[in-house]
Amino acid sequence: MKVRTYRQRDLVCTEYFLEVPLDHRRPDGEHIEVYAREVVDAAKADANLPRLLFLQGGPGGKGHRPKDRSSWLGRALEDFRVVILDQRGTGLSTPANRQTLARRGGPEAQAEYLSHFRADAIVADAERLRRELQGDEPWSVLGQSFGGFCTLTYLSFAPEGLREAFITGGLPGLSSTADEVYRLTYQRTVERNLAYFARHPADRELCARIVRHLREKDVRLPTGERLSPRRFQSLGMRLGMRADFDALHYLLEEAFVDGVDGPELSDTFLAGVGAAVSFATNPLYAVLHEAIYCQGTASAWSAERLYAERPEFALDDDTPFLFTGEMIYPFFFAEDPALVPLREAADLLAAKDDWPRLYDPDRLARNEVPTFAAIYYDDMYVPRELSLQTAAAVGRLTPWITNEHDHDGLRVADVLDHLLTLARQAP
């Protein structure tokens, strides 16, 4: 394992580069590299602090990049050395994107490679890293969103590696299919739209006007591709984040300018839209998103099929405009330049029906690892109905159910402090 250390303000950071098998069931096969950054308060750099593994949301999101002690990290550094993993395929781990995947050959080879990038492989990587750093000693884990999904996989298949577990907005259904998840998240997305347009009522007609304009004009994003009405509709992806809720309004308020031939969409607006809808920085999020719900079943482009069953999202002149939410659609792979080369591989992954299981309900029912989970009652991304079922099914899990925070509560509030208090007060 390669190691290097540097100091950043009042933090000491140590970087780890570790080789792991692409397929942990075949340890003598192909290897890739995973990267992790350990962060400790400079004043405690020599202290014997326990480690806390942070598992990022996603899938396909690189680990948190610490700039200072703000947000959850500052609280964590009071008690821990924090290990931030770049989950395989992201950040400084061996990347998986249109550029690197092209080297693997055709769509079949790409899909086979990408089938090894789910939570089970991420947990196996984490266990390799833990043993390198501290042998048999267990560590704590904090899983945000998809990181919480990974934590449930950890508790299912490698609980001996965990001393305690903290989960924020990330308790998945243990046996839920993609269809079951999206039926709930579509409804929650409707609710978030109603809240948004109640706060910004003029934006609804503005959005309808933008859709009409996009139907009639060939509007191009800064990256060159046409902006379609449905891709514009997908701007609601982050409506479930408190920090981003009003950012959409500020983007929309600069939508139109008066050009030579009349009203047109402004460069400022199009640049903002392009950044918001592009998957260039996290292509695995699009490629693997539905696969995180699959255990022995195919997703078959679940979000797209269910979209057709939801007439309230229709983009016609008779239906009040609604944004879509955290849904990945096959048309993304026809319109986003970062995804176009991966279209055939994504189709193969959507049709794959032999995904291995990600959770062991029997093992989780007997769980002995103290686990503390924040369940956000109005969560747009992880339905409370499924989270509550899982909370009741996992041994030694203490839920904290709240409507005071949104999905990004870990980033903008004192959620981690509340969970740590629960843990320290537990018998």
**Dihedral pair phi/psi, residue 88, rounded to 5°:** -45, 135
How many residues are listed for the chain in this entry? 427
Cβ atoms < 10 Å from Cβ of 318: 5
| Cβ–Cβ under 8 Å, residues 60 and 287 | yes
Round to whole Å and give the CA distance between 336 and 287.
12
Round to whole Å and give the CA distance between 37 and 83.
6
Is residue 354 annotated as a catalytic residue, yes or no? yes
Is residue 213 annotated as a catalytic residue, yes or no? no
Nearest to 155 by CA among 135, 170, 177: 170
Question: What 3-state DSSP class applies to 400?
Answer: strand
Cβ atoms < 10 Å from Cβ of 10: 11
Name the CA dihedral angle for 373, 377, 379, 384, rounded to a multiple of 10 degrees: 70
Round to whole Å and give the CA distance between 386 and 171.
7
Of residues 115, 140, 145, 176, which has the active-site annotation?
Answer: 145
| Cβ–Cβ under 8 Å, residues 236 and 186 | no
Of residues 136, 316, 318, 354, which has the active-site annotation?
Answer: 354
Does an H or E element contain 199, and which? helix 178-199
Strand 262-265 and strand 256-259: the pairing is antiparallel
Of residues 64, 200, 213, 407, which has the active-site annotation?
Answer: 407
What are the tokens at 270?
Answer: 């199009």
Type of residue numbered 97: N
Round to whole Å and give the CA distance between 252 and 136.
53
- Catalytic machinery residues: 145, 354, 407
